[in-house]
Amino acid sequence: MSNLNRVPTLLTASFAVVISAISVMSTAQAKSVAEVIDAKDQVSILKSSNREFYDQAQENLTLRDGNDDYYVLYRIVERMARANRLDDRPWRVTVVPEYDINAFATNVNLLAFFNGLMDQIHGDPNALACVVGHEMAHHTEQHIALSAAQREMRLQELRQEAIDEVAAEEEDLSDDLQEMAAGEWIASGVGTIADRVVSTGGLGGLVGRVVSGQIRRDRQRRLEAAAERIQQIAAEKEAQFLAEETERSHSNEFEADEIGYQYMVRAGFDPQGCITVMEAISRIPGSQTAGITHPSTPDRIAALWSMSTTYPTASLRSEGDANIAANPNALTYGLSRDRMSLRIDSRSGSMDIDDLLPE
């Protein structure tokens, strides 16, 4: 059998699980979808062409309420993978049930799209293809984004480094400085260490129990000066880290825009879809100015407009057509082992064991 002559039977029986979990359907809705899919599972369907395979995929991946997000995402990712020679690996897609205009790439080849984004560009496969290409590019270029928690952890490490540097310079004050800075300031950066020295007229409550109020005036002044030095060093370290992180993140976003643009055009989609997405993002408050993770939307739009000159559409589509001709068979799909995402199989993953090992 060819890879087109098999339907992923596990998908037909189990896909209701992922649909119900991701789409947050009611129990009654999930049950009705399961009944329909279970009924289909009793039928062995043979397909002789990609068109028939896609028709069956549309039937399997569309909910009874007409929501075809997973089918549309399957078609886009499947086409883009073959057109760009990215079909040497499986891809996974999921729709996040939160109304946010966003998408992200994470874990192993997982592409996640928020409900809000799917709603804002509903019915425009060119716009969605631009987002898909962008997120696939994050994976292919191995962009690693820091989460908010990871970023805060790094800031805490920098505050501790500042304390250690000054404590090494003032060895006899080291224990006092470490105790002063412990807790809230390192964890959140709230307030200043200097405030903690003078807030109670000395170090009462922090190291008072150790020195029993016997700190001489000169030691008090040294501690205050050391605390201010820690604050200054920490501020410099944090500013440098945030500047470097911003530059790295912006560079990654521009690169993902550029490579994703090529991916979607090679796959036959209209490059205008990227402008449509950016216009939708531009309506989000604050998107007109650059943040730590993303450049400003106007800057991204300007860069996208220039790409039609840098990467002629006809040339990209010719490359994509050649890549698809080299692998003309549609990629199969199935329920991921995480049971929370749809897997688009790789080229080799779309093979049938009976084709490889005939009788």
Instruction: Tell me the two tokens of residue 233.
Output: 């060093």
Q: 37 CB contacts (<8 Å, ≥6 apart)? A: 12, 13, 15, 16, 60
Q: Note the pLDDT tens digit of each residue in 14-38.
A: 333 333 333 333 333 333 323 333 4
pLDDT digit of tens for each residue in the chain (359 aa)?
A: 333 333 332 233 233 333 333 333 333 333 332 333 343 433 233 334 888 999 999 999 998 888 999 999 999 999 999 999 999 999 999 999 999 888 888 888 999 999 999 999 999 999 999 999 999 999 999 887 777 788 888 888 888 888 888 888 777 777 776 666 555 566 655 555 555 554 434 444 444 444 445 445 777 777 788 888 888 888 898 999 889 888 888 999 999 999 999 999 999 999 999 999 999 888 877 666 666 678 888 899 999 999 989 999 999 999 999 999 999 999 999 988 888 899 999 998 877 777 677 66
Looking at the chain, the number of H-run helices and the number of E-run strands are 16, 5
The residue written with tokens 């903690």 in the block is: 196
Closest residue by Cα to residue 57 from 78, 38, 39: 78
Separation between Cα atoms, residue 272 and residue 265, nearest integer Å: 10
> Would you call 333 helix, strand, or coil by DSSP?
strand
Q: Note the pLDDT tens digit of each residue in 171-198.
A: 777 777 666 655 556 665 555 555 555 4
Output the average pLDDT for the chain: 77
Q: Which long-range contacts (CB under 8 A, 24 or more apart) does 94-100 make?
A: 94/22, 94/340, 94/341, 94/342, 95/22, 95/23, 95/69, 95/70, 96/22, 97/22, 97/23, 97/24
2, amino acid identity: S
196 phi and psi angles, rounded to 5 deg: -75, -20
Instruction: Give the predicted TM-score (pTM) of the model.
Output: 0.71
